Structure 1
Amino acid sequence: MIEKPAYDWNPRSDDVQKDQIAAYDDMRHRCPVAHSEYLNWSLFRHEDVVRALHAHETFSNSVSNRLVVPNGMDPPQHTLYRRIIEPYFNAQRMEAFEPVCRQIAIELVANLPRAGEVEFISAFAEDFALRVQAAFLGWPTKLHEPLRRWTRRNHEATLARDRTAMEDVAYEFDRYIRSLLMERRNAGASAPNDLTTSLMRERVGDRLINDEEIVSILRNWTVGELSTISASVGILAYYLAGRPDLQQQLREQPALLPAAIDEILRIHAPLIANRRIATAPVEFCGRTLPADARVTLMWASANRDETVFGDPDTFRLDRDPALNLLYGAGIHICPGAPLARLELRIVMEELLGQNSRIALASGQAPVKAVYPASGFSSLPLRVERPAKDDAVFSQ
């Protein structure tokens, strides 16, 4: 009879899922290098996560059976594709996209009830993430609802670890993108001059990037964008709804918003974890992880490590931004961070600027999201507009 290995914790237990952030805090104190059936080896301390992020030779990103460009690659292959991707998030592109992003935020905030309660995640956060992502990539509005359904199915399949369902979801997304690529090729010179069309002209080495690579890049951007941006917007709104003084301070001093957003999302991470594979035996906290061990880097714990941040729930605007792992670190640091920061700043400027008060709804408790999602699956809020149509602060 083969004995099952002993595990340190169960990431899928009801206790963990009831409050992921609190559970990960407990694991960081109790068992900072933990083994489980669902997540394999997990690292909870800031020091250990940073060590893994910077030791890309020892911790490979090649963790998927599918092509994942570029974050599922290691150097030198990763370097080639990273050079293609980074210019899409440069300052010039962000400046050009800002008015488009702002118009979307203005319209969605204007559609919120003038004085009443709203289920904020489905009525606002998800719509914002969908619309800005489609606009950035140049995708038609007809894809909004399919992408919304696809995001939910992807989350359900990942949570269930249903590999067949995960493959089906991936192929479904691939069909959407291949159809867009075909439309652009058929249009020839009349194809829209957008980011998706631009990707089709990129070269890796001495050849054009192929459709499989384009699909992988767009899948990677879309999975990350739709889930983390909507989670981030919900986390930010929830945090400020419970702190009217901070809410008003940010209305009066909108220049503080970038630092405030990064700090709130340090306290409550919108992205729970990321995966690696050990290429050689490696030791953490007296425990040896074997070669080929699958390792989960727990962002949601590392960014709350008391040895780095003191009381993790203390909100501070003077922290060293280099310590915040919100967008990762090392060679795989998120290339889309400038876009995410732009979108979150703009949406919070408009949400605060067009509303005089954001508060938690009475009698309805928020419902926390469960792994692999973060934030809230339901967030009833009450929003109130100013007495007149004047914005609370002008841009």
Structure 2
Amino acid sequence: MSHDFNPIVPETFDSPHAEYARLREQCPVAHSDAWGGFWALMKHADVAAAAADWRNFTTAKQNVIPKVAFTGRRPPLHLDPPEHTPYRRALAPLLTERRVARLQPVIRSVSRDLLAAMVARGGGDVVADFSAHMPIATFAHWMNLPPAAVAELTAVGQRYNIAVQSNDMDTTKESSLLLYDMARAIVADRRAIPLPEDEDATSALLAARVDGEPLPEELIIGTIRQVLVVGIIAPSVMIGSIAVHLCRDQALQAKLRAEPALIPAAIEEFLRLYTPYRGFARTPLQDVTIGGQTIPEGEPIALVYASANRDADVFECPNDFRIDRPNMKESLAFGRGPHVCVGAALARLELQIALEELLAAGPFHAAGEPRQTRFPEIGALSAPIAFEAAA
């Protein structure tokens, strides 16, 4: 088997994008021997087609590369339609644009407090000091968690994130099991004292019925466990990547600070440029041929969204930031098909408010080199900055 690229080599913030540009040109359906071997789709058309074709590319066998699921299945990501549908149906009403708008005051208050502390120190790490905390606080409010659970989720969530990025399987497993314990406790609390279904995700899942029967409790727990992690890691990485970009492009930083009405469009372009996932996986249910390359049945495939969103066949000058791109609807930042991100509205709200408050805190520049995540995420795991006014 050919070994077209090595996903475990040391990376800088920019090096994966250079490698993916090479692969899009020379080897758009690539193979790696890492983690037992897997394929990777680099082109936009191939990624979009596989993501949408759940009948031929299942997510139920392996949903991420490297495979880090040590315990039970976690809907909706671990299931295909129609099995995954009741879980998404329960969550979706709580994640509409109108519903998540209620969280604006919480997100803004938490962001201002975290950034005020950074400004007082003259700077800090945008990820460690800001974006690693804000999404957790936001999710805690969305899930109606008590303060003690917020503190626990913050500690365990960060530990899990670092372990996954470091390929530390022992710590990944240990922290994943702790997240399961948290999910079980949340479910037990809601069984004891239910909340209105239109106000609480866990209560909505417990109330859901399929042919008159409740959803299996272990799968409800798995769903809560999945929500806890997905809602934490991606926004944290994205905010770090945005900060790195704005440190490098001071003119853009100044423009967005002077014209905040541009921020929603800027977020969409940042999402395209710094799509935080490259390891979501599918498994073909039969031999498939993509780009002239035959992938045998049962072999895992990474949908490299981060590469697809810089495909020059779709996006002109794909490495450039262009706030007025005419075809932003082609962005795969939130996926495609039945597993498109159900929490996209909340993610956009978090990113918009985070950027507004970061810019309002004052001009900033890099205070060190950013540190890159590892598979399955892509982006800034660390982004040191200094505020010029404080300096």
Asked if TM exceeds 0.5, the reply is yes
Aligned to 2:39: 41
Question: What residue in structure 2 maps to residue 333 of structure 1?
Answer: 340
Please show how residues 1-395 of structure 1 align to structure 2 within 5 Å. 5-14=1-10, 19-38=15-34, 40-64=38-62, 66-114=72-120, 116-155=122-161, 158=164, 166-187=172-193, 194-319=200-325, 320-353=327-360, 355-361=361-367, 364-384=368-388
Residue 338 (structure 1) shift:
0.5
Paired residue type of 1:176: M
Residues 284 and 297 of structure 2 are in contact (CA less than 8 Å); yes or no, is this contact kept in structure 1? yes
1:83 positional shift: 1.9
Q: Shift of residue 175 of structure 1? A: 0.8
Give yes or no for contact 1:366–1:376 (8 Å, CA) kept in 2.
yes
User: Is contact 1:173–1:219 with CA below 8 Å preserved after alignment?
Assistant: yes
Counterparts of 1:210 and 1:286 in 2: how far apart (Å)?
42
Moved more, 262-271 or 337-346: 262-271
CA distance in 2, matches of 1:81, 1:176: 19
CA distance in 2, matches of 1:85, 1:346: 23
**RMSD of aligned Cα (Å):** 2.7
- Give me the whole-angstrom Cα distance separating, in 1, the residues matched to 2:194 and 2:271: 43
- Deviation string for 1:34-91 (max 9, x for gaps)? 1112250110011111111222211111124731211221122123332222111123
Alpha-carbon spacing, 1:22–1:145, altered in 2? closer, same or farther (3 Å): farther
Q: Distance in 2 between matches of 1:163 and 1:351?
A: 34
Mean Cα deviation higher: 259-268 or 90-99: 90-99
* 1:343 positional shift: 0.9
| Residues 209-262 of structure 1: CA deviation (Å, up to 9, x unaligned) | 343222222222222121101001111111112222212221232222122112
C-alpha distance in 2, partners of 1:257/1:15? 29
Gaps of 5+ in 2: 63-68
Tell me the distance in 1 between the aligned counterparts of 2:231 and 2:376: 14
Q: Look up the match of 2:65.
A: none
C-alpha distance 15-157 of structure 1, shift in aligned 2 (>3 A): closer
Indicate the structure (1 or 2) with the bigger Cα radius of gyration.
Answer: 1
* CA distance in structure 1 between the aligned counterparts of 2:25 and 2:156, rounded to whole angstroms: 37
- Counterpart Cα distance in 2 of 1:115 and 1:242: 22
**How far apart are residue 339 of structure 1 and its match?**
0.6
Which letter does structure 1 place at the counterpart of 2:268? D
Deviations along 1:319-352, one digit per CA (max 9) or x if unpaired, are: 2122111001112111100110011111111221
Question: What code does the residue aligned with 2:5 have?
Answer: W
Distance 1:347 1:205, change over 3 A: farther
CA distance in 2, matches of 1:306, 1:340: 26
- Matched residue type, 1:30: Q
Task: Return the offset for 1:272.
Answer: 2.2
More moved, 206-215 vs 195-204: 195-204
**CA distance in 2: counterparts of 1:255 and 1:325, whole angstroms:** 24
**Greater CA drift, 219-228 or 43-52:** 219-228
Amino acid at match of 1:272: R
Q: What is the alpha-carbon distance in structure 2 between the residues aligned to residue 276 and residue 189 of structure 1?
A: 36
CA distance in 1, matches of 2:354, 2:306: 23
* Shift, 1:298, TM fit: 0.5
Post-superposition CA distance 1:265-287 (Å, at most 9, x none): 21122222310010111111211
Once residues 356 and 13 of structure 2 are traced to their aligned partners in structure 1, the CA distance between those partners, rounded to angstroms, is 32
Quickly say closer, same or farther: Cα 1:122–1:46, change in 2 above 3 A.
same
- What SS does the aligned partner of 2:132 have? helix
CA–CA distance in 1 between the matches of 2:180 and 2:208?
Answer: 19
How much has 1:308 moved relative to structure 2? 1.0
Q: SS at the partner of 1:307?
A: coil
Tell me the secondary structure at the aligned position of residue 122 of structure 2.
Answer: strand
The more displaced of 85-94 and 290-299 is 85-94
| Deviation of 1:163 (Å) | 6.3
Alpha-carbon contact 2:241-2:379 (below 8 Å) kept: yes
Moved more, 66-75 or 77-86: 77-86
- Identity over the aligned pairs, expressed in percent? 31
Distance in 2, matches of 1:141 and 1:67, equals 28
Pick closer, same or farther for the CA change 1:89–1:246 going to 2, 3 Å: same
Paired letter, 1:7:
H
